[in-house]
Amino acid sequence: MIDPGKAVKQSTEKPEPPVAGASKLITGAIFGLAFGFLLQKGGVGKFNILIGQLLLQDFTVAKIMLTAIVVGMVGIFILHHFAKVNLHIKPTRIGSNVIGGLFFGAGFALIGYCPGTAAAAIGQGSWDALFGMAGLVAGSWIFAEFSGALKKTVQKWGDMGKVLVPDLMHAPRGIFVAIVAVLLTAGLFVMERIFPR
């Protein structure tokens, strides 16, 4: 598969007004509605399913995530190949990815929801997610307070820039995507056999 290059469509990196245009808001609303609906139907708005994953008792979360990754990955790399979409790659900064990831996980076990599934949880009437959401707002603010200092320190540790796994391994993207899709699908079959729930 030939990589058509970095930016394909016009990027929208202009100074943005405080309220986005109506079309952005409407599409965001429709997609958000669908996302919340799917999260609830998938059961990941439920405390016991999320904590159950961390306790390795309930593999619903892993099954949803891995299926979404396989389906999403194949589609997005094909669309990208035909220059229909941009990739949105976040920079790899090993220090902050690891430390931040561990903090996130520790918080995850306490709150029992994620930032996205907390929304679905509120929708289904799990009101304790409101306390978690208040904490999420507070934590975001605390991070912002320290963002200047963190930028000069932790965020510089292991800064590799925007990089994809296949690029790191000098593998052709198309073949790599195909291999990962097959491996993850096989992994899902094995998971379903070992952990029916």
- Where in 37-96 is the site for other proteins (CB under 8 A)? 37-49, 51-58, 60, 63-73, 75-76, 79, 84-94, 96
**52 vs 193, which CB is nearer to other proteins?**
52
Size of the site for other proteins (CB under 8 A): 134
Residue 3 lies near other proteins (rule: CB under 8 A): no
- Which residues ranging from 103 to 132 are in contact with other proteins (CB under 8 A)? 103-112, 114-117, 119-129, 131-132
Q: In the set 2, 5, 12, 170, which binds other proteins (CB under 8 A)?
A: 12
CB 44 within 8 A of CB 61: yes
Q: Cα(175)–Cα(77) distance, rounded to whole angstroms?
A: 11
Q: Cα(111)–Cα(131) distance, rounded to whole angstroms?
A: 9
CB atoms near residue 49 (< 10 Å): 20
CB of 66 to other proteins, least distance (A): 7
**Can you state the angle between helices 94-111 and 129-152, rounded to 10 degrees?**
160
Phi, psi of 88, deg, nearest 5:
-125, 90
- Which residues ranging from 132 to 161 are in contact with other proteins (CB under 8 A)? 132-151, 153-154, 160
